[in-house]
């Protein structure tokens, strides 16, 4: 649990990132260009938002499997409100984020008030939220035709090429970095992950803190759904399928202990870009997309084996 | 108050409430949609439940040992393709089935070695292998199906009726075997002991790491068998089969009353959980509901099941 071990894992990850840059720089077409860098960022913002929020959840020793489904539900809520119900886009967007927040609140309530393990709670809500999205759309409805102003959130650029959603990711990064690493709350979160009972005796309001991280996770899923819809120009019930697993992979790769007690928000961001560059680089090097999945799985296992010494016994 | 004779502190209440819920659904169906009980429909239902039950028995072992395996959907797909490829070579179907089960057991052994050998958390290990096997299979098969299986393959050449009977009988045998083994065999009791308290299990002379390794191997083999029982019903093998299987199976096991914290749960409960969730979707359709509410309903039921369990646990704690 020493700082040296932590920075060692982050250093290893940065090294990996550098290896990716060199290898794909040599073998990928147009890999080392600013345009491609922005492309990678644009494609990974939704996942990044979820991974940042999940870092706080996993810091407490919890997990949230429902974030991908919640992206789907919020996308459908937004699409329906903006296109069918005819609400103004900002209001529809606010209500979609509210829907995500309520989804997170339900998770948090079940975890804290009923003391159900988060894995099971969010496994249930994983089905429930995706199911609600499917039920609401009959599994087929696909909302499109959003106004250009909204689509620019996902497709537009700022100041000569920066993707519009990049500031959003940076903002979320700063927020979660400050929350986890620079606040009393964050110290409490990691204390809960390390030993919930001890945290309680030390005066950490365990229930309130846990509710906070699940609510944040839900709200962030709502925001991510908006970025996703704006990027693809359509809102469907299958939005965000599999995002939860990719996001968890980024978090664990980044050095946050899956048992809780130790979290690294910067690590999560590096983990995210290791995954994103792997996918992008393999595509530009004309390698099959599936190879990225296989390598992601192996990287995750490797990261786990290497970080074994940080496991609380 | 807890009677010392009852093996589980919750008695049989989960089984009884599941049985009541199942009976209620069946009664409503009998009243509103008696067509549900047509022989053809029941046969369909039984055949589709069989593989899920086999996989659920494996998952019961894994969760009782306080582990989890979310890679079984991918294992299922790999085993199905192995089965199809071996059958296409012209080898006899039982041999092909054997190799699919062996493939499953080997994949399970990899999970088991990583979890028991390296002491890694099973949820992340199986998350990694889930992604790796699925994408590896897509890479190898390029998403194509295994087509043109020999005539003798579908329903094992027994025709639909005989094949179905065999599939359901196999699942029933697996259920009976695991149910008996969990209660009566030393190995079965070790699974409970390991899941309740691995350190205590070690101190009484059991080997928790071997038990954990064993449950993952068993899970893999049973997933392979589930893939065989599913694939035999068709003439092609889909490379993307089994997506989401892990969550459906875990849901059935949890609804069946197996505690995710390990060491508690019964085979009867799991059987009822599998049946309940399997009946729910078709019942919804037969009662004139919309099929796409199925998933939301399944999710709500999982949450309801765990919430009621937690509420009762708290009630018991206050006694």
The DSSP annotation for B211-256 comes to: HHHHHHHHHHHHHHHHHHHHHTTSSSB-TTTTTTHHHHHHHHHHHT
> What chain B residue is nearest to A117 in terms of C-alpha separation?
B260
Q: How many angstroms away from the CA of B136 is the closest CA of chain A?
A: 6
Flag whether B136 is in a domain.
Answer: yes
Burial code (b: 16+ CB inside 10 Å, e: under 16) for B219-246 equals: bbbbbbbbbbbbbbbbbebbbebbeebb
Tell me whether A190 touches chain B (CB under 8 Å).
Answer: no
What's the pLDDT score for residue A294?
Answer: 86
What's the pLDDT score for residue B153?
Answer: 73
Q: B317 Cβ partners below 8 Å, 6+ apart?
A: none
What's the pLDDT score for residue B105?
Answer: 97
Lowest mean pLDDT among A196-210, A281-295, B52-66, B196-210: A281-295
Residue found under tokens 């949609």: B33
Contact indicator for B71, B126 with CB cutoff of 8 Å: yes
Which chain A residues are closer than 8 Å to B306 by Cβ?
Answer: 110, 114, 116, 120-121, 124
pLDDT band at A210 (very low <50, low <70, confident <90, very high): very high
Overall domain count for chain B: 1
Tell me whether A119 touches chain B (CB under 8 Å).
Answer: yes
Q: For chain A, report the end-to-end CA distance as a whole number of angstroms.
A: 11
Average pLDDT of chain A? Answer: 88
- Using the 8-state DSSP alphabet, how is residue A158 labeled? E
Q: A269 Cβ partners below 8 Å, 6+ apart?
A: A48, A51, A52, A173, A254
Q: Is the pLDDT of residue B157 over 60?
A: yes
Flag whether B33 is in a domain.
Answer: no
Tell me whether A207 touches chain B (CB under 8 Å).
Answer: no
Q: Given an 8 Å threshold on Cβ–Cβ distance, is B130 in contact with A297?
A: yes
pLDDT band at A35 (very low <50, low <70, confident <90, very high): confident
pLDDT digits (tens, 9 = 90+) for A140-153: 888 988 888 888 88
d(CA B276, CA B23) in angstroms, rounded, equals: 9
The DSSP annotation for B68-92 comes to: ----HHHHHHHHHHHHHHHHHTT--
Q: Is the pLDDT of residue B1 over 50?
A: no
d(CA B44, CA B160) in angstroms, rounded, equals: 11
Flag whether B319 is in a domain.
Answer: no
What's the pLDDT score for residue A306?
Answer: 74
Q: Three-class SS of residue A163?
A: strand
pTM over 0.80: yes
Residues 60-99 of A with CB under 8 A from B: 63
Q: How many residues does chain A have?
A: 313
Which chain B residues are closer than 8 Å to A293 by Cβ?
Answer: 131-132, 134-136, 138
pLDDT band at B4 (very low <50, low <70, confident <90, very high): very low
Flag whether B285 is in a domain.
Answer: yes
B120, B134, B247 member nearest A305 (Cβ): B120
Lowest mean pLDDT among A146-150, A272-276, B270-274: A146-150
- Using the 8-state DSSP alphabet, how is residue B157 labeled? G
Q: Is the pLDDT of residue A1 over 60?
A: no
d(CA A48, CA A243) in angstroms, rounded, equals: 10
Q: For chain B, report the end-to-end CA distance as a whole number of angstroms.
A: 8
Considering only CA atoms, give the Rg of chain A: 19
What's the pLDDT score for residue B3?
Answer: 36
Q: Where are the alpha helices (DSSP H) in A28-165?
A: 34-59, 67-79, 89-113, 118-137, 148-155
Which chain A residues are closer than 8 Å to B139 by Cβ?
Answer: 288, 290-291, 294
Q: Given an 8 Å threshold on Cβ–Cβ distance, is A294 in contact with B135?
A: yes
Lowest mean pLDDT among A35-44, A263-272, B158-167: B158-167
Q: Given an 8 Å threshold on Cβ–Cβ distance, is B128 in contact with A298?
A: yes
Q: Is the pLDDT of residue B54 over 50?
A: yes
Tell me whether A292 touches chain B (CB under 8 Å).
Answer: yes
d(CA B208, CA B205) in angstroms, rounded, equals: 9
Q: Given an 8 Å threshold on Cβ–Cβ distance, is A258 in contact with B121?
A: yes
Q: How many angstroms away from the CA of A295 is the closest CA of chain B?
A: 7
Q: Hey, which of B18-32, B63-77, B293-307 has the most confident mean pLDDT?
A: B63-77
d(CA B83, CA B77) in angstroms, rounded, equals: 10
Q: Is the pLDDT of residue A310 over 70?
A: no
Q: Which residues span the domain enclosing B208? A: 13-28+38-313
Q: Is the pLDDT of residue A3 over 60?
A: no
Tell me whether A301 touches chain B (CB under 8 Å).
Answer: yes
Lowest mean pLDDT among A99-103, A272-276, B147-151, B235-239: B147-151
Domain regions of chain A by residue span = 3-310
Residue found under tokens 């294992």: B75
Q: Given an 8 Å threshold on Cβ–Cβ distance, is B303 in contact with A125?
A: yes
B131, B295, B311 member nearest A296 (Cβ): B131
Q: Is the pLDDT of residue B146 over 80?
A: no
d(CA A94, CA A135) in angstroms, rounded, equals: 22
Contact indicator for A130, B251 with CB cutoff of 8 Å: no
A134, A290, A301 member nearest B135 (Cβ): A290
Q: Given an 8 Å threshold on Cβ–Cβ distance, is B124 in contact with A298?
A: no
- Using the 8-state DSSP alphabet, how is residue B146 labeled? B
- Using the 8-state DSSP alphabet, how is residue A81 labeled? I
Flag whether B2 is in a domain.
Answer: no
Q: Three-class SS of residue A88?
A: coil
- Tokens at residue B145, please? 């199906």
CATH number at residue B23: 1.10.3470
Q: Given an 8 Å threshold on Cβ–Cβ distance, is B119 in contact with A311?
A: yes
Segment holding A205, helix H or strand E: none
d(CA A182, CA A277) in angstroms, rounded, equals: 29
Q: Is the pLDDT of residue B298 over 90?
A: no
What's the pLDDT score for residue A6?
Answer: 56
Topology (CATH level 3) of domain A3-310 = ABC transporter involved in vitamin B12 uptake, BtuC (1.10.3470)
Q: Three-class SS of residue B208?
A: helix
pLDDT digits (tens, 9 = 90+) for B244-270: 788 889 889 988 989 888 888 999 999
Q: Which of A54, A65, A128, A238 to mutate to probe the B interface, most B CBs <10 Å?
A: A128
pLDDT digits (tens, 9 = 90+) for A87-116: 999 999 999 999 999 999 999 999 998 888
Q: Is the pLDDT of residue A24 over 80?
A: yes
Across residues B32-37, what is the average pLDDT?
Answer: 86
What's the pLDDT score for residue A312?
Answer: 45
Q: How many residues does chain B have?
A: 319
The DSSP annotation for A213-273 comes to: HHHHHHHHHHHHHHHHHHHHS-B-TTTTTTHHHHHHHHHHHTT--TTSS---HHHHHHHHH
Q: Which of B117, B135, B138 to mutate to probe the A interface, most A CBs <10 Å?
A: B135
Which chain A residues are closer than 8 Å to B124 by Cβ?
Answer: 248, 252, 258, 300, 304
d(CA A34, CA A201) in angstroms, rounded, equals: 51
Q: B276 Cβ partners below 8 Å, 6+ apart?
A: B18, B21, B22, B25, B252, B255, B301
A259, A288, A292 member nearest B121 (Cβ): A259
Contact indicator for A239, A227 with CB cutoff of 8 Å: no
Interface confidence, given as ipTM, is 0.81
Which chain A residues are closer than 8 Å to B314 by Cβ?
Answer: 114-115
Tell me whether A114 touches chain B (CB under 8 Å).
Answer: yes
At residue A13's C-alpha, the angle toward residues A8 and A14, to 5°, is 95
Which chain A residues are closer than 8 Å to B136 by Cβ?
Answer: 290, 293-294
Across residues B44-73, what is the average pLDDT?
Answer: 94
């Amino acid at each position: 649990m020493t700082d040296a071990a932590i920075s060692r894992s982050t250093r290893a990850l940065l090294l990996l990132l550098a290896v990716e840059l060199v290898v794909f720089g040599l073998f990928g077409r147009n890999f080392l260009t600013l345009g491609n860098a922005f492309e990678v960022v644009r494609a990974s913002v939704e996942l990044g938002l979820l991974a940042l929020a999940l870092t706080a959840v996993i810091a407490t020793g919890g997990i949230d499997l429902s974030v991908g489904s919640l992206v789907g539900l919020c996308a459908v809520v937004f699409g329906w409100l903006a296109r069918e119900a005819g609400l103004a886009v900002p209001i529809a967007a606010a209500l979609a984020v509210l829907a995500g927040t309520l989804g997170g609140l339900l998770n948090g309530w079940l975890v804290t008030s009923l003391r159900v393990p988060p894995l099971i709670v969010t496994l249930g809500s994983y089905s429930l939220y995706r199911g609600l999205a499917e039920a609401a759309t009959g599994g087929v409805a696909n909302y499109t035709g959003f106004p250009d102003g909204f689509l620019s959130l996902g497709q537009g650029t700022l100041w000569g090429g920066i993707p519009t959603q990049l500031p959003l990711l940076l903002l979320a990064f700063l927020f979660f970095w400050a929350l986890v690493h620079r606040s009393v709350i964050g110290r409490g979160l990691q204390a809960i992950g390390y030993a919930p009972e001890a945290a309680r005796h030390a005066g950490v309001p365990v229930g309130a803190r846990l509710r906070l991280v699940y609510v944040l996770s839900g709200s962030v899923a709502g925001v991510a759904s908006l970025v996703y819809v704006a990027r693809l120009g359509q809102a469907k019930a299958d939005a965000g399928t599999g995002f939860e697993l990719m996001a968890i992979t980024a978090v664990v790769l980044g050095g946050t202990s899956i048992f809780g007690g130790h979290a690294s928000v910067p690590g999560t961001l590096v983990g995210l870009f290791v995954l994103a560059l792997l996918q992008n680089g393999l595509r530009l090097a004309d390698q099959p997309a599936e190879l990225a999945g296989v390598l992601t799985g192996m990287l995750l296992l490797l990261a786990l084996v290497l970080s074994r010494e940080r496991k609380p016994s | 108050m807890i009677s010392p004779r009852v093996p589980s502190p919750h008695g049989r209440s989960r089984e009884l409430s599941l049985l009541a819920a199942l009976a209620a659904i069946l009664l409503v169906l009998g009243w509103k949609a008696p067509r549900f009980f047509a022989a053809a429909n029941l046969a369909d239902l039984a055949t589709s439940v069989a593989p899920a039950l086999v996989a659920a028995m494996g998952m019961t072992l894994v969760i009782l040992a306080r582990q989890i395996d979310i890679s079984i959907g991918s294992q299922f797909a790999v085993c199905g393709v192995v089965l199809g490829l071996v059958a296409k070579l012209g080898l006899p179907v039982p041999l092909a089935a054997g190799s699919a089960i062996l493939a499953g057991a080997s994949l399970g052994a990899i999970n088991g070695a990583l979890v028991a050998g390296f002491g890694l958390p099973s949820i992340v290990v199986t998350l990694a292998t889930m992604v790796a096997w699925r994408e590896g299979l897509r890479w190898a098969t390029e998403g194509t199906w295994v087509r043109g299986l020999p005539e003798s393959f579908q329903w094992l050449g027994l025709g639909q009726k005989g094949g179905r009977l065999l599939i359901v009988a196999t699942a029933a045998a697996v259920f009976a075997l695991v149910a008996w083994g969990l209660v009566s065999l030393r190995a079965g009791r070790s699974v409970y002991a390991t899941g309740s308290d691995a350190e205590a299990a070690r101190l009484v002379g059991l080997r928790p790491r071997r038990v954990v390794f064993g449950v993952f191997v068993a899970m893999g083999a049973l997933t392979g068998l589930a893939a065989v029982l599913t694939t035999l019903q068709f003439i092609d093998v889909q490379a993307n089969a089994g997506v989401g299987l892990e969550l459906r199976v875990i849901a059935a096991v949890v609804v069946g009353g197996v505690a995710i914290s390990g060491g508690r749960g019964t085979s009867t409960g799991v059987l009822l959980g599998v049946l309940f969730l399997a009946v729910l979707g078709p019942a919804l359709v037969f009662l004139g509901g919309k099929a796409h509410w199925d998933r939301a309903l399944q999710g709500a039921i999982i949450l309801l099941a765990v919430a009621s369990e937690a509420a009762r646990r708290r009630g018991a704690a206050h006694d």
